[in-house]
Structure 1
Amino acid sequence: MTDNSQDDPASFDADFILTVDPEDAGKRIDAVLASHLETLSRNRIQSLIKAGDVSIGGAKIGEPKYRVNEGDEITLHLPEPEDPDPKGEDIPLSVVFEDAHVIVIDKPAGLVVHPGAGNWTGTLVNALIHHCGDSLSGIGGVKRPGIVHRIDKDTSGLLVVAKTDQAHQGLAAQFADHGRTGPLERAYSALVWGAPSSLKGTIDANLARSQANRQKMAVVKTSGRHAITHWQVKERFGAADQPPLASLMECRLETGRTHQIRVHMAHIGHPLLGDDDYGSGFKTKINRLEEPLKSLVGGFTRQALHAGLLAFEHPVSGETLRFESPYPNDFANLLSGLQKF
C-alpha cells in the first residue's frame, strides 16, 4: 500500500491518504487503516469512519467492515482536536442559593450539565466556571468541577454544586446514601401517558445500557445496576368515561441512575410525554387529539420531567436546606392544557 502522508497522523495538517495494494485487497477498511496507522487505535479509526471522516474516491465510507479493493484511494481526515479543558462562559444562571461552600441552580431544559462528546462548550460547568471563578471543588475532575449529581439535558429543575472539596465530600456521601439515613430528598414532577390503576407504587428494576442502542438504558433481569423509583399519581386527565389520557406523577428516587425515571415509567407502560427515546410508540396518540391540546402535546419536544424538590444537609453547617422550583413555562402550559381536556 502506498502512503502519501506524513508518518505521524497526529501531527499532519493534510489528510492521510493510502492506496490499497494487492496484499490488502478484500480486507475490512478499519483493519487496513489500523495496520498502517500505529498511532491510532482501531476503535478510534472505527469512530472516524462512522463519523464520515473516511472516504474512497470522494465517497464517504460509513461502515468499518467495508471491504476495500486494489487501487482504492482511502482518505482519512482527522478533525481538529477538541479542547478537553472547559473554559468559563457567560451563560445566564438561575441561582437559588449560594454561599462559600455550595451553589444551588435551577437548570433550564436544554442545558447540558458537563462537557462531553459533542458538547464541549455551552454547558452548566462552563457557566459555573465563569460565575464562581476558581471556587469550585476539584474532586469531580477538570471536566466536572463541583458536580455531585446531574439531571438530563432536557430535564429542568434543581441541582446542587460543591464549591469546596469539603462540601463535595459531604454532599457525595448524602447522595450515595440516597436519603436513607439523612434529609436528602429529590422529587420530580412527570407528565406521563395514561395512568397506573393504583395511586402509588414502587418500581424496583435494574438498569443497564441497552444492547440495541448504547445511547439508551433498559430494564434488565440480571446484572445491571439496582434502581428504585417511588411514584404517586397526583392528577389524572381525560374524559370521565374513558381511560385516562395522561397523568401528573411525582417520582422520588431511592437510587440515581442514568435516565432512571424515564426508563422506569416506560417499563410500567406510562412513558413521559415528549420522550422520543422511550415513548416513541405513543406518538400516534397525538394525532387523535383535538386542538389546541394536539398542538400543545405535539409541540412539547422534550421529556416532561421537572426536578422540583431538592433537600439536603448543608455539608458544613449541618443545616437542612430545602428548595422548590416552580414549573417552567413549557411544562406549566402543557399541564394547563391537559387539565382543560
Structure 2
Amino acid sequence: MNDPFKQAERPRKVLVAEEEAEGRLDAWLAATLGGEFSRSRIKSLIEQGAVRHKGVVCTEPKRKVAAGDQVEIILPEPEDPEPKGEDIPLEVLYEDSDVIVISKPAGLVVHPGAGNWTGTLVNALIHHCRDSLSGIGGVRRPGIVHRLDKDTSGVLVAAKNDAAHRHLAAQFADHGRTGPLERAYQAVVWGRPKQLRGTIDAPLGRSGDRTKRAVKREASGDAREAVTHYEVLERFLEKPDATALASLIECQLETGRTHQIRVHMAHIGCPLIGDPDYSAGFRTKVNLLPEPAKSTVRDFGRQALHAYLLAFEHPRTGDVMTFTAPVPKDMQHLIDALQQGDDAL
C-alpha cells in the first residue's frame, strides 16, 4: 500500500493521547478533533491510509489507543461540490463561519432533485459561501437540516461545516422538545377553524400521489407523528354567525413532516389559499369574495404560507439566536385585499 504521508502536501495534525485515552482509534480521533469530522468520515480516512498510529500507517479504525500514543492525520481538503455554484441572489439575514441564515423567496427550490438540478438554494449557497464551506462529509457544500417547499417563503438556516451540521440536525430531530428550537409560520386559509386556538395531532403518510401527503391512521405502516399548534390572528369577511370566508393564522410546528401545515389545515376544513394540492375543493369560494379580494385571490399563484420565525442554538457558542422575516409583498398584498373586502361589507 502506498504511504500517503511520503508525498502529502496537505495539512497534518499530530495528536498525543492523554492518560485517560482508551477505546477505538476512530472514536478517539473524532472526539479529540472536537467534532471537526464525523466518526464515519474519520473511519473512511483511516481506511484510506491518512492516519499514522505510533509512526506507522494504520488502516484499522478499531485499533486501540493507549495513553501516550502519537497519532498523525492528514487533514483532507474538501472536494469540489456537486452541484456547481450559481450566482443566484440571496437575502442573507446572518452569516458566520458555522451557519448562514437566509430569507428564502417563494419559487426557489431548496435542494437539487428530479426536474430541478440547477437554480436551487444549494446552488446559490455554494456560490455565495465559496471557500467558507469547509465541507459536509468531505464535500464543499452547505448542510441542509430543514427545508421549505418551493412555493413557501421564509427563514431557513444551513450549516457550513460538519460539526455545525450535526449540531443543527440534532436540534431539528428533537423538534424543540428539549431545546430552544422554534419554528413559526403565518398562513392565509379558507374559512375559520372552529376553535381560535388549538392543536392538530394527526399522523401523516404518503397519499396515492407519491408527491403528496395525507392524514393516516396510526396503524398505517407509513404513518408518522405530526403535531401542529395554531392560533387565529385575524378573520376576514366575517359573518354574523361568526364564520369567516378566510383567516390569517399562525402555526408552530412540534414535528416537521413534509407538507405538514398544508395537510393539517386542509384536514380541519381550512386549506391554504392558493394551495394547488390540498385546496382544490375550495376554488369556487373565490366567487363569494368582493373585489379587490376576488381578483387578488384568483391571481395568487402559490400556497399562502410563510416561515416568519426561526430560533435555534448556535452550534459553536450555544447562544439562542432568533430570526424573523416579514411576509413577502405578494402575501401582504393578499392580506391587504382581504382586509379591504372587510371594509366593503
| Bin of the TM-score, shorter chain as denominator length | 0.7 to 0.9
How far has the Cα of 1:182 moved from its partner?
1.1
The answer to whether 1:92 aligns with 2:89 is yes
- Per-residue displacement from partner, 1:143-170 (whole Å, max 9, x unpaired)? 9731011100000000100011111111
Q: Measure, in 2, the Cα distance between the counterparts of 1:220 and 1:209.
A: 8
SS at match of 1:133: helix
The answer to whether the Cα contact below 8 Å between 1:191 and 1:272 also exists between their aligned partners in 2 is: yes
Deviation at 1:339, TM superposition (A): 1.5
2:154 equivalent to 1:147: no
In structure 1, the residue matched to 2:11 is: none
Instruction: Return the alpha-carbon distance in structure 2 between the equivalents of residues 280 and 240 of structure 1.
Output: 23
Q: Secondary structure at the match of 2:230?
A: strand
CA distance in 1, matches of 2:136, 2:203: 28
8 A contact 1:137–1:162 mirrored in 2: no
- State the shift of 1:217 in Å: 0.6
The aligned amino acid for 1:106 is: S
Equivalence for 1:196: 193
Q: Residue in 2 aligned with 1:302?
A: 302
Q: Which deviates further from its counterpart, 151-160 or 137-146? A: 137-146
Is residue 273–residue 303 contact of structure 2 (8 Å, CA) maintained in 1?
Answer: yes
Classify 1:274/1:142 alpha carbon distance in 2 versus 1 (closer, same or farther; 3 Å).
Answer: farther
Q: Is 2:173 aligned against 1:176? A: yes
- Whether the aligned pair in 2 keeps the contact of 1:140 and 1:146 (CA below 8 Å) is no
Give 1:203-218 correspondences, 5 Å limit.
203-211=200-208, 213-218=209-214
Q: Percent identity?
A: 69
Amino acid at match of 1:281: G
* Number of residue pairs aligned between Structure 1 and Structure 2: 257
CA deviation after TM superposition for structure 1 residue 282, in Å:
0.3
Query: For 2:164, what is the secondary structure of its paired residue?
Result: helix
Label 1:131 to 1:246 Cα distance change in 2 as closer, same or farther (>3 A): same
**Matched-pair contact (CA < 8 Å) for 1:86–1:142:** no
In 2 relative to 1, CA 157–281 (structure 1 residues): closer, same or farther, beyond 3 Å? same
* Alignment partner of 1:130 is 2:127: yes
Are the structure 2 counterparts of residues 142 and 201 from structure 1 closer, same or farther at C-alpha, using a change threshold of 3 Å? farther
- CA change 1:311–1:177 in 2 (3 A) is same
- C-alpha spacing 1:137/1:202, structure 2 compared with 1 (3 Å): farther
Q: Deviations over 1:62-86 (max 9, x none)?
A: xxxxxxxxxxxxxxxxxxxxxx931
**Structure 1 equivalent of residue 272 of structure 2:** 272
Q: Are the aligned partners of 1:188 and 1:307 in contact in 2 as well (CA < 8 Å)?
A: yes
The CA distance in 2 between the partners of 1:142 and 1:86, in whole Å, is 11
Instruction: Indicate if the aligned counterparts of 1:136 and 1:146 stay in contact, CA closer than 8 A.
Output: no
CA distance in 2 between partners of 1:148 and 1:298 (Å): 34
Alignment of 1:253-272 (within 5 A): 253-272=253-272
Q: 1:208 to 1:315 in 2, by over 3 A?
A: same
Unaligned runs of 5+ in 1: 1-83
Whether the aligned pair in 2 keeps the contact of 1:139 and 1:165 (CA below 8 Å) is yes
Deviations 1:77-120 (A, max 9, x none): xxxxxxx9311000000000000100001000000001000000
Q: 197-206 vs 130-139, which deviates more?
A: 130-139
Answer yes or no: is the 8 Å Cα contact 1:90–1:130 preserved in 2: yes
**3-state SS of paired residue (1:238):** strand
Distance 1:137 1:159, change over 3 A: farther
AA in 2 matched with 1:248:
L
Q: Quick one: which amino acid aligns to residue 282 of structure 1?
A: F
Q: Say whether 1:114 aligns with 2:118.
A: no
Contact 1:183 1:312 in 2 (8 A): yes
Q: If the length of structure 2 is used for normalisation, what is the TM-score?
A: 0.72
Q: How many Å apart are 1:142 and its aligned residue?
A: 6.3
Query: Please, what TM-score do these two structures have when normalized by structure 1?
Result: 0.73
Aligned-pair Cα RMSD in Å: 1.7
Pair 160,298 (structure 1): closer, same or farther in 2 beyond 3 Å: same
State the alpha-carbon separation in 1 of the partners of residues 140 and 100 from structure 2. 18
Aligned match of 1:232: 231
SS in 2 for 1:340: helix
Identify the residue that residue 313 of structure 1 maps to in structure 2. Answer: 313
Contact 2:112 2:120 in 1 (8 A): yes
The residue type equivalent to 1:215 in the other structure is T
- Which residue does 2:28 correspond to in 1? none
- The amino acid across from 1:113 in the alignment is V
Quick check: 1:193–1:246 contact (8 Å CA) kept in 2?
A: yes
Structure 1 position 292, deviation (Å): 1.2
Identify unmatched segments of 5+ residues in structure 2: 1-80
2:215 matched residue in structure 1: 219
